[in-house]
Amino acid sequence: MKVAAPSVKVTPVNTRPAPQGWRPVRVLHLSDLHFSAKTAWDSGTVLGRLAADVASLRAEVGELHLVVVTGDIANFGTAEEYAQATAWLTGPLAQAAGVTPAQIRVVPGNHDVHRGSISRTARMVADGLLRDPDPQQAIAEVLSDPNERAPLLARQAAYLTFAQTFHPGLTAPWWSERLPDLQGLTVHLAGFNSAWLSASGRRPRQPRPEPLVVQRAAQRG
């Protein structure tokens, strides 16, 4: 864990009275948890304090409807790290937030890449995509085909297995969905993944799958 002093705060953004019949949608956002086997020995205190902060927040503002965990859930993208993350998110965190796993959403970061799983084939495919005259179109075609994208996404295989706990049936490490009745509202969610091509600590400018995800979300209405 790389969180030194966790805390959860709420800052009012609108102090005007709510319209009659309006019901708020409350989303708890957590990021950069960096679960790691190397620091598991001292992460319990940090995670305990964070869960306590969440429970206090819930008591202050009321029911939480969704929990969104984004970026760097793990530290090295290993199955062991995701086992730790699953245990905490579905246990202490879910209890503190008053939610079930069905109300938790996850999005990966560059630390959710297992770099040891990046093959020579994957590097060659990635290089070809970046050199293509129309990289966005090339990426859309490759990522739309499960067989063609498989070498590229092997680096996030452990993350994908973890994410399926919260997104049953997920077949790629990004998603979009439509919640038809959340506090009387229709809510559209999209989980973008900007780390699927990550291969080092550097962050080179690269095409992303977001246009593909947005297009599919829009088609779902």
pLDDT tens-digit profile of 82-126? 999 999 999 999 999 999 999 999 999 999 999 999 999 999 999
Q: Which two tokens stand for residue 48?
A: 């305990």
Helix axes 135-143, 120-131, angle to 10 degrees: 140
* Positive/negative CA dihedral, 83, 86, 88, 90: negative
Q: Is residue 100 part of a domain?
A: yes
Q: Is residue 163 part of a domain?
A: yes
pLDDT of residue 39: 73
Structural domain for 63, as ranges: 27-220
**Is residue 6 in some structural domain?**
no
Number of separate domains in the chain:
1
pLDDT tops 60 at residue 136: yes
In a domain, 16, yes or no: no
For the whole prediction, is pTM greater than 0.85? no
Residue 19 lies in a domain: no
**Domain for residue 108, yes or no?**
yes
Q: Is 169 helix (H, G, I), strand (E, B) or coil?
A: coil
